Amino acid sequence: MDAVMNRVLAGALAVFLAGAQPAAAQFGPQGPPAVGVITAERRPITETTEFVGRVEATDRVNIRARVTGFLQERLFREGSDVNKGDVLYRLERAPFEAQLEQAQAGLASAQAQLENARVTLTRARDLRQTGAGTQVALDNAQAAERTSQAQVLSAQAAVRVANINLGYTEISTPIAGQIGRTILTIGNVVGPDTGTLAVIVSQDPMRVAFTVSQRSALDLRNRFEGRGGPDAVRVRIRTTDGRMYQEVGQVDFVDNQIDRNTDTILVRALIPNPIRRPTDSATPVTPRELVDGQFVTVFLEGAEPVPTITLPRAAVLQDQQGSYVFIVGAENKAERRNITLGRSSGQVAVVESGLEGGETVIVEGIQRVRPGQPVNPAPAPPPPAPAPARG
């Protein structure tokens, strides 16, 4: 019985295999693989390099007392804007006014002594000419007159110092900007040893400072040196909440030495920081957006877009020889083309060399392509719009 079953199964298997051979044969060769292609074209893109920076005030002043006295008045509101020359604090004036009056009295006394010394000198000269006086008396009179002149100069200096100290009882701001909190309140004794009473930082424009690696600095110089150097670059910033700041800055300083500890160079840019004044009068004025000390993301952008060949990032392959793409050559055969990439984004590859423009580049189905293999090209969907190339 088992032998019979084995013969039946063997026969059925042979029939199945005999029928399967024609079915397999009917598929035949699959033909060239279908691929999606685009034409390599030059499109204007804005070259962008990204850094981390910090906003800094262009001017900063620590307000300090220059004489010792009681703090009598505070004439500002903490956190408000102040103008150059505004009086911030007043110290008690009475002691300094008394010192000025004392110095003025000393000056008057010295001037009286000088007048008396001049009269004595004149008399001594007359007596000497008539022979009634001695040379010693004349010399003493001349010395007394010079001493009196010196005392007058000293008294005049004392009056000037007293005037200066009296002026220091009004503490003014040397710059325009925003003032912070005050350290001491009215009634405290302040002086040169008290320290900073308040800090004023300028507001518009602000400075953005960031460091650039030596390699990036050389790359930026090579890219923009022939286009005008710093004038060919504009600066944009993004705040920590992800918003792009509306104003555009300009590089105004590049340090003259590399930091040996970090191998970076300091770059600074000036950027406007105006008060936002809405057109609707009912809307309150928006304060300035940039604050001294805040972190920002800095974008160095080329001022003018540059025509560059861009491809979808997925079209670019890499191996030990570098980056390359496949193009459709003669007789629809795939050809390898080695390329050099510029600063690219995650979706768009910027081609600096290797393509001249006009080549048919394979962007879809690339995993089935081999060099020299015939392909069946068809237009691929348009690539995404070229975004700014970031470093």
Tell me the pLDDT tens digit for each residue of 181-227. Answer: 998 889 899 999 999 999 999 998 999 999 988 888 887 777 776 66
Which tops the pLDDT comparison, 222 or 123? 123
Position 86 confidence tier, pLDDT thresholds 50, 70, 90: very high
As a whole number, mean pLDDT of residues 221-248 equals 80
Total count of residues recorded for the chain: 391
Question: What residue ranges define each of the domains in the chain, with the CATH number in brackets?
Answer: 34-45+307-379 (2.40.420.20), 49-57+204-305 (2.40.30.170), 63-91+170-201 (2.40.50.100), 94-167 (1.10.287)
Position 121 confidence tier, pLDDT thresholds 50, 70, 90: confident
**Residue 296 — φ and ψ, nearest 5°?**
-145, 165
Q: Is 100 left (phi over 0), alpha (psi -120 to 50) or beta?
A: alpha
pLDDT at 167: 93
Contact 264, 212 (CB under 8 A): yes
Outline where the chain has alpha helix (H). Answer: 2-25, 94-130, 135-167, 214-224
> Is the pLDDT score of 11 beyond 90?
no
Strand 69-74 relative to strand 334-338, pairing: unpaired
Tokens coding 251: 């590089």
Using alpha carbons, list the distances in angstroms from residue 380 to 39, 52, 249, 354, 355: 10, 38, 40, 21, 19
* Alpha carbons 100 and 165: distance in angstroms, whole number: 9
Contact 63, 200 (CB under 8 A): yes
Choose the most confident range, by mean pLDDT, from 13-17, 121-125, 145-149, 306-310: 145-149
pLDDT at 389: 47
pLDDT at 256: 87
**Residue 285 — φ and ψ, nearest 5°?**
-65, 130
Position 360 confidence tier, pLDDT thresholds 50, 70, 90: confident
> Is the pLDDT score of 102 beyond 50?
yes
pLDDT at 214: 84
Position 23 confidence tier, pLDDT thresholds 50, 70, 90: very low
User: Which residues have CB under 8 Å from 309's CB, separation 6+?
Assistant: 40, 41, 42, 43, 350, 351, 355, 357
Strand 60-63 relative to strand 81-82, pairing: unpaired
pTM beyond cutoff 0.75:
no
Largest pairwise CA distance in the chain:
176
Using alpha carbons, list the distances in angstroms from residue 50 to 47, 207, 212, 223, 380: 10, 17, 10, 15, 32
Instruction: Identify residue 230 by its one-letter amino acid code.
Output: P
Tokens coding 349: 């590859």
Mean pLDDT of the chain: 82
> Is the pLDDT score of 2 beyond 50?
no
DSSP-derived letter for residue 214 is: H
> Is the pLDDT score of 144 beyond 50?
yes
User: Which residues have CB under 8 Å from 203's CB, separation 6+?
Assistant: 57, 81, 176, 177, 178, 273, 288
Range in 301-310, 329-338, 350-359 the model is least confident about: 301-310
* Alpha carbons 312 and 307: distance in angstroms, whole number: 16
Element (H, E) at 236: strand 233-238
Position 135 confidence tier, pLDDT thresholds 50, 70, 90: confident
> Is the pLDDT score of 13 beyond 70?
no
- Give me the residues paired with residue 70 across strands: 189
Tokens coding 100: 């000025």
Contact 296, 53 (CB under 8 A): yes
- Virtual CA dihedral for 168, 173, 174, 175, nearest 10 degrees? 180
Which tops the pLDDT comparison, 84 or 382? 84
Q: Among residues 234, 222, 213, 203, which one has the least CA distance to residue 301?
A: 234
pLDDT at 128: 78
Contact 273, 206 (CB under 8 A): yes
* Alpha carbons 333 and 330: distance in angstroms, whole number: 6
Contact 128, 137 (CB under 8 A): yes
Handedness of CA 275, 276, 282, 284 (dihedral sign): negative
> Is the pLDDT score of 391 beyond 80?
no
Each residue's pLDDT tens digit, 267-288 = 999 999 988 766 555 555 557 8
> Is the pLDDT score of 355 beyond 90?
no
pLDDT at 74: 93
As a whole number, mean pLDDT of residues 39-60 equals 85
Which tops the pLDDT comparison, 164 or 301? 164
DSSP-derived letter for residue 131 is: T
Give the HSE-up count for residue 100: Cα atoms under 13 Å, Cβ half-sphere: 14
Contact 350, 325 (CB under 8 A): no
Choose the most confident range, by mean pLDDT, from 86-95, 278-287, 316-325: 86-95
> Is the pLDDT score of 15 beyond 50?
no
Instruction: Identify residue 388 by its one-letter amino acid code.
Output: P
